[in-house]
């Protein structure tokens, strides 16, 4: 579980996050959504320790980040997996080398053990016989699955995903969404996803945080979206004709 309390962040005296409070639970996929400039990427970076908030507290299963020593922060980093926007694979490294990278960085395990772990997570994301291939030999969806394999190779407690469906076609995006949710539930991971993809919100949004201008404007589940009267979230979500039709159908069913 990750708890954030009263998080403030500013750049050049301009507030970007304005007192954000939220709890992200184990075994659930939590999505942070909002328009560009809403603060969702800055919030993610604060939780990852890449940015320091001016005020507030970030707590990992009872451990307060600001109270940690350098060694404790390094140990925490071993418990975190990250799926970057675009995958961020090393182009000059094979799939096997990409996935093995965190193991080489954070462990002293024998090569045979690392390879066994790499093969296990590649199989878990439904990739076989790709160890010696390079990223540019794979489709976009396969690259994302390699990125997920790399993110979970250390068996993390916490998984952060920044726009994991960016650049993918709708069918592949659904596959990636379902894979992330399956892994989250299977390993009881605390998963936080930054996304602008409304399909992801509806498919795997067990908890949704909506940011607007650095403020937590709304919180709920994908089902709650159909019932909320909050104009900010409905304007954001139902800007798509598809979701207008879905909501109309849901409201008719509930009458």
pLDDT beyond 80 at 242: no
The model's pLDDT over 45-54, given as tens digits with 9 standing for 90+, comes to: 999 999 999 9
| Token code pair at residue 211 | 């940011």
Query: Which of 184-188, 232-236, 239-243 has the weakest average pLDDT?
Result: 239-243
pLDDT in tens, 106-116: 999 999 999 99
The reported pTM is: 0.88
Q: Cβ-count burial of 129 within 10 angstroms (0-12 exposed, 13-18 middle, 19+ buried)? A: exposed
Query: pLDDT, tens digit, for every residue of 186-229?
Result: 999 999 999 888 888 888 888 999 999 999 999 998 888 878 88
87 pLDDT band, cuts 50/70/90, is: low
DSSP code, position 134? -
């Amino acid at each position: 579980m990750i708890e954030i309390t009263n998080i403030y962040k500013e750049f050049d005296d301009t507030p970007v996050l304005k007192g954000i409070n939220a709890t992200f639970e184990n075994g659930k996929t939590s999505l942070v959504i909002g328009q560009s400039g809403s603060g969702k990427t800055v919030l993610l970076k604060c939780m990852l320790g890449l940015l320091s908030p001016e005020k507030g507290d970030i707590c990992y299963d009872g451990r307060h980040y600001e109270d940690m020593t350098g060694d404790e922060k390094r140990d925490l980093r071993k418990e975190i997996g990250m799926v970057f926007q675009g995958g961020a694979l090393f182009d000059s490294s094979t799939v096997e080398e990409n996935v093995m990278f965190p193991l080489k960085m954070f462990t002293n395990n024998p090569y045979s053990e690392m390879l066994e772990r790499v093969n296990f997570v590649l199989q878990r994301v439904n990739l076989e016989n790709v160890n010696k291939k390079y990223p540019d030999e794979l489709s976009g969806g396969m690259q994302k699955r390699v990125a997920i394999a790399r993110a979970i190779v250390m068996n993390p407690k916490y998984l952060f995903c920044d726009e994991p469906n960016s650049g993918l076609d709708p069918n592949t995006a659904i596959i990636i969404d379902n894979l992330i949710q399956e892994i989250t539930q299977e390993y009881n991971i605390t998963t936080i996803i930054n996304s602008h993809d409304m399909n992801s919100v509806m498919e795997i949004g067990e908890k949704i945080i909506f940011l607007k201008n650095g403020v937590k404007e709304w919180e709920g589940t994908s089902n709650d979206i159909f019932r909320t009267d909050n104009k900010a979230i409905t304007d954001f979500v139902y800007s798509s004709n598809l979701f207008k039709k879905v909501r109309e159908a849901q409201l008719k069913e509930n009458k």
